[in-house]
A and B are shown apart, each in its own frame.
Chain A
Amino acid sequence: MLRYILNRLVGLVVVMFIVATIVFVILRITPGDPAAVMLGPQATQQDIAALRTQLGLDQSILTQYVTWLGHLARGDLGQSIFLNKPVLTVLADRAEPTFWLTLMSLAIATAIALPVGILSAVKRGTALDQSVQGFSMFTSSVPSFWLGLLLMEFFSVKLGWLPVAGYGGPGASIGERLSHLILPAVVLGLVNSALITRFIRASMLDVLRDDYVRTARAKGLTETRVILRHGVRNALIPILTVLGLTAALLVSGAVVTETVFGLPGVGSLVVSAVLRRDYPVIQGALLVIAAIYVLINLVIDLLYLLVDPRVRY
């Protein structure tokens, strides 16, 4: 078990090393001089030269790469060019709304998908099953920003039930902040519930065909007990996997949704960094988010141990 975790951590370091290399390469494929691109057309030659020195662009590619890895190893993600603050601080400042948004959307997606997926599998082939499948096909085809705009217009503008956009002022209460998160979380939750529903349905269908389910029925257990105790419990492993995947997808969805709803999170930070060509921020965000994804996957694998005593590492 300990050996397994150690092995996985080594693998994690290797993947993160490749991830860091990819992130390094992405900046270098910029046609022309990245310093000139970042500063825009008004910049003077001196400014460009100064930024080149600051970013180390005047050194050889190999030196740049080694320096960049060295800084990363010390947890230094560089300096935001536009905000003139360390990238790590900038990311930390924006982490809160993204964290709550991801958590709330995951909760909403699971709350929809779990009962719906189970019911759909139990009532396989019925009208209910078909409408569930139709609905999840529909939600997975809707662009999240479009759905966000439509819901915003209906619930915030027409009915006035929820705030239109933003995250409240700097001194806003927790309740006010949460009310700003409801609509974006519903949008992300709905859009992502489709994938989870399909997985839960498939996983339940597999389990319900197994011998021990037949045995449980033969013992005379009630159908609810058969489904909840014997079915759902055994279907949990694939469900955990898909929840992990979805958590990563949500980060990606947050990029678009945060922009639509004007939430000051990591997602909208990346978009504004792209528009301002603030490369260190883009690099930092890519790295941190990829690291979170890799970590979530590790945690999920370890959770298998808790869920299923048959799994031994």
Chain B
Amino acid sequence: MAIASSPSVVSGSSSDRWQILRLLVTRKTVLISLIVLIVLVGAAALAPWIAPFDPYKLSIMNRLKAPGSLHWFGTDDFGRDVFSRVIYGGRLSLTVGFMVVVLSSALGILLGLVAGFFRGADKVVSRLIDAMMAFPDILLAISLVAALGPSLSNVIIALGIVYAPRLARIVRASTLVIRELPFVEAARALGVPTRRIVTVHVLRNLMSPLLVQGTFTFAYAILAEAGLSFLGVGVSPDIPTWGTMINGGQQYMGTADWIMVFPGIAIVLAVMSLQLVGDGLRDVLDPRLRKEL
């Protein structure tokens, strides 16, 4: 697992951003991963124009057709086009992953900053983070979904809560370092209010570790959502996500493998690309960790 715990100070100017991007794409694996991600996200965004068939359209005549020139990935037990469903499924799976990153980052930043910046609160918040991390991911997620009720938004909330403590730990560790740096001391000496120091000076310098960890959280969230949907405790089985498609296809294993093989490949591609980009970002943003993990 990649944990970027040390902050590296980068300024946010646009020329720096280009520099980072240029450094990133010099690595072949990262470049390929970025292309794969752009294709997956692009296909998901443009699904209504790209998908050759309506992903919900039933056609008993075309039931369980093997992959061919008309149905590239074959059809499922209701005669629905698997290729179109994989594209539409990506829409939901990727959205869930992204929203989980947003939610867990918001929660993690809040908890981490409070713990890292205010000594008094640190003990309480750190213990809370420790206790949260004692629950295995999937187990905590399915318990939360069980309590909240299964729905797309509740899956996002549950996974957002599950991944928040990891981000909080990173933010806390980085904040502890940053708060002692001369520029924060200088800001304080100049009479800058604490709130402004935290939001402008500390948060800005947390961007690199957060960006790196966010990429990995995105990957884990896609895997976790698929797991929850597969277990039948996540999104409703009628909604095509990569996880629900594998769940639906498992009973046709051996007779119509393509129903579950293609959404699985989509998951592997998305998760692997995100992890490789995360690795690349870490190397570029934090040279001290380069090539180590």
A: residues with CB less than 8 A from B are 14-15, 18-19, 22, 26-27, 29-31, 137-138, 140-146, 149-150, 152-153, 157-158, 195, 198-199, 202, 205-206, 248-249, 251-253, 255-256, 259, 270-271, 274-275, 277, 279, 282, 285-286, 289-290, 293-294
Contacts and interface: CB of A to CB of B under 8 A. Distances in A.
Contact of B246 (A19, A137, A140, A149): A149
B268 A153 contact: no
A84 B225 CA distance: 31
Contacts of B138: 252-253, 255-256
Interface string B244-288: 001000100110010011001001100110011000000000000
B272 A275 contact: no
B114 to A, nearest CB: 16
A252 B257 contact: no
Contacts of B246: 143, 145-146, 149
A294 B136 CA distance: 11
Determine which residue in B134, B219, B271 has the highest number of CB atoms from chain A within 10 A of its CB, and name it.
B134
Contacts of B261: 150
Contacts of B61: none
Contacts, number: 135
Contact of B231 (A18, A29, A259): A259
A143 B142 contact: no
B253 A157 contact: yes
Contacts of A142: 264, 267-268
Contact of B260 (A27, A149, A249): A149
Chain B interface mostly helix, strand, loop or mixed? helix
A256 B227 contact: yes
Contacts of B144: 26
A286 B264 CA distance: 29
Given A141-B219, A251-B139, A252-B138, A146 B267 contact: yes
B66 to A, nearest CB: 16
B143 A282 contact: yes
Interface of B: 1, 127-128, 130-132, 134-140, 142-149, 219, 223, 226-227, 230-233, 243, 246, 250, 253-254, 257, 260-261, 264, 267-268, 271-272, 275-276, 292-293
Given A195-B1, A271-B233, A286-B139, A143 B131 contact: no
B275 A18 contact: no
A141 B275 contact: yes
A146 B292 contact: no
A271 B34 CA distance: 36
B264 A146 contact: yes
Determine which residue in A138, A146, A251, A271 has the highest number of CB atoms from chain B within 10 A of its CB, and name it.
A146
Given A26-B144, A145-B246, A157-B253, A252 B272 contact: no
A141 B273 CA distance: 9
B146 A282 contact: yes
Contact of A30 (B135, B140, B147, B250): B147
Contacts of B130: 15, 18
A1 to B, nearest CB: 23
A143 B293 contact: no
Contacts of B131: 15, 18-19, 22, 290
B34 to A, nearest CB: 15
A30 B148 contact: yes
A286 B230 contact: no
Q: Which 6 A-B pairs have the closest CB atoms?
A: A252-B136, A18-B131, A141-B272, A141-B271, A146-B264, A290-B134
A248 B147 contact: no
